[in-house]
Copies of this chain bind each other. A is one copy, B any other.
Amino acid sequence: MKLSMDRAREIAKALKFKDGLITAIARDFRSKDVLMVANMNEEALLKTLTTGLMHYWSRSRKRLWLKGETSGHYQRVRGVWVDCDGDAAVFDVEQVGAACHEGYYSCFYRKLRRGKLVTALKRKFDPKKVYG
């Protein structure tokens, strides 16, 4: 999915950035598994919509961040949903490789089981080899 900059700007106008940010949830477009949640500022949203690749705003590093820029694990946008308040969006994505820098397909790899957090997914890659 790639929009023209004009169309992307119209979408951005319909959103309500809080402190300059919206919440962006990326999920696998086939399984609907949630892969990660992060923030987008207006620039990250416009880049995402016009390139078809997920971009985020890193609050800790204070910079625009193309998901996959170092790992090659890009997220191709297949669909976008916006919530009632306009301050959050769900992106259906085609995940290249794995979403989590720790090597799991999803960042949500820990699950509550009998009252304790356990690792519920298997690693897709060794994080030291890809990100080290």
Contact = CB atoms under 8 A, between A and B. Distances in A.
A83 interface: yes
A65 interface: no
Given A25-B37, A27-B34, A32-B33, A84 B112 contact: no
Q: How many copies does the complex hold?
A: 2
A90 interface: yes
Contacts of A10: 116
A100 B80 CA distance: 18
Contacts of A3: 115
Interface residues of A, number: 40
Interface in A85-132: 85, 88-90, 100-102, 104, 107-112, 115-117, 120
Given A1-B112, A11-B117, A82-B111, 11 more contacts: A7-B115, A10-B116, A31-B32, A32-B33, A34-B90, A79-B111, A79-B112, A81-B112, A82-B112, A83-B107, A88-B107
